[in-house]
């Protein structure tokens, strides 16, 4: 009994233009929104520096997301949009900065430290091996040591 | 081989030096890529007379300061008296970019705290701010006669910055 009026009501609601409009902005262009999210998650928000523009709710991040959204709608490529950001805010906005003279230490530094640490480790291990191989007791020393050990152990047992 | 014992100490001292220097650096001061590049062009309505537009091209041929400010920004209130005092010396014309602000609030601030600007323009939607790479007001740009950005101050202008950095630069640019 209840079913048919309910169905009609649902149908009417679904077809109602105002309701259809309300949901529109979110899913306006899923492809563009996905691109926006992907792009802005690689860009640093300069106000709160450890957040991406995608994550941040800072006002500047919101403005920059709108800026990027417009650029996507204007058919600019990802590289062009990134260049736009770098031209204004510097390489610092990129979470993956390019390899350049100024960023060389950043990219090569960890490997350099690893090489230095590894070198020190190898050097120390070699030295230690030499130390272990070193002591060769003469026959007299050996006898002396044995007698000492012997007397010690007899003393202890008595 | 006694010297070996000094190595951890040497590393420790080197770390202390690096950390000490790091303490004095401000991570919020990101060097602007716009230095030595032409200042972005803007056409914006002035704060005093919204019907009148002002363009950055109008400033060609003179060295000028562009101070990005807003009535909602506490750092701007901090630097405002410094700017007002500085404007009295007439060393260099100061123009304001009122960033994402309500013009009424901005006018009220200028009325109560003094107006150091030859003129201010309203950047209502923050677009011009983005063009200038603004990320934290207040910011101040020194722009030369050819319209090229020569210096950017991030954060409030202090009397020290004014006398050690901005004034000598303005003099040099005016002589050029």
The token pair at A125 is 């291990």
Interchain CB distance below 8 Å, B33 and A90: yes
pLDDT of residue A8: 63
Q: Which residue has the tokens 């030595």?
A: B36
pLDDT digits (tens, 9 = 90+) for A39-83: 989 999 888 778 899 888 888 899 999 999 999 989 899 999 999
Q: Which of residues 37-96 of B touch A (CB under 8 A)?
A: none
Give every CB contact of residue A78 below 8 A, 6+ residues apart in sequence.
Answer: A35, A39
Size of interface A-B (CB pairs under 8 A): 38
Residues of B in contact with A88 (CB under 8 A): 33-34, 130-133
Does the pLDDT at position A22 exceed 50? no
Q: Angle A107-A113-A117 (CA atoms, 0-180°, nearest 5)?
A: 155
Assess A90–B contact: CB distance below 8 Å, yes or no: yes
Does the pLDDT at position A117 exceed 90? yes
Residues of A in contact with B28 (CB under 8 A): 49
Residues of A in contact with B42 (CB under 8 A): none
Say if pTM beats, i.e. exceeds, 0.80: no
Does the pLDDT at position A20 exceed 50? no
Instruction: Using 70 as the pLDDT threshold, list the residues of chain B that sit under it.
Output: 1-2
pLDDT of residue A9: 58
Interchain CB distance below 8 Å, B130 and A90: no
pLDDT of residue B167: 94
Residues of A in contact with B131 (CB under 8 A): 88
Does the pLDDT at position A4 exceed 70? no
pLDDT of residue A21: 42
Report the pLDDT averaged over residues A109-113.
Answer: 94
């Amino acid at each position: 009994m209840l079913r048919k009026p309910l169905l009609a009501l649902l149908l009417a609601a679904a077809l109602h233009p105002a309701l259809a409009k309300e949901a529109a902005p979110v899913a306006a262009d899923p492809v563009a929104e996905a691109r926006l999210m992907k792009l802005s998650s690689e860009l640093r928000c300069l106000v709160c520096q450890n957040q991406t523009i995608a994550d941040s709710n800072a006002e500047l991040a919101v403005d920059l997301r709108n800026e990027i959204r417009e650029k996507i709608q204007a058919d600019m490529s990802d590289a062009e949009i990134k260049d736009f950001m770098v031209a204004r805010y510097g390489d610092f906005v990129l979470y993956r900065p390019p390899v350049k003279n100024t960023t060389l230490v950043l990219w090569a530094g960890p490997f350099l430290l690893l090489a230095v640490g590894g070198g020190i480790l190898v050097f120390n291990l070699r030295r230690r091996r030499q130390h272990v191989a070193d002591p060769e007791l003469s026959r007299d020393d050996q006898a002396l040591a044995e007698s000492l050990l012997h007397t010690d152990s007899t003393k202890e047992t008595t | 081989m006694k010297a070996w014992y000094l190595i951890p100490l040497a590393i420790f001292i080197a770390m202390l030096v690096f950390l000490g220097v790091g303490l004095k650096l401000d991570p919020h001061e990101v060097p602007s890529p716009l230095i030595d590049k032409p200042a972005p062009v803007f056409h914006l309505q002035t704060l005093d007379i919204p019907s009148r537009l002002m363009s950055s091209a109008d400033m060609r041929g003179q060295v000028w300061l562009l101070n990005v400010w807003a009535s909602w920004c506490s750092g701007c209130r901090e630097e405002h008296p410094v700017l007002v005092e500085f404007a009295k010396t007439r060393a260099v014309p100061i123009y304001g970019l009122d960033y994402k602000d309500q013009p009424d609030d901005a006018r009220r601030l200028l009325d109560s705290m003094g107006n150091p600007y030859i003129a201010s323009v309203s950047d209502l939607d923050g677009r011009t701010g983005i063009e200038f790479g603004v990320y934290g007001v207040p910011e101040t740009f020194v722009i030369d006669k050819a319209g090229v950005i020569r210096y950017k101050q991030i954060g409030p202008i202090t009397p020290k910055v004014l006398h050690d950095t901005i004034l000598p630069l303005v003099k040099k640019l005016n002589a050029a």
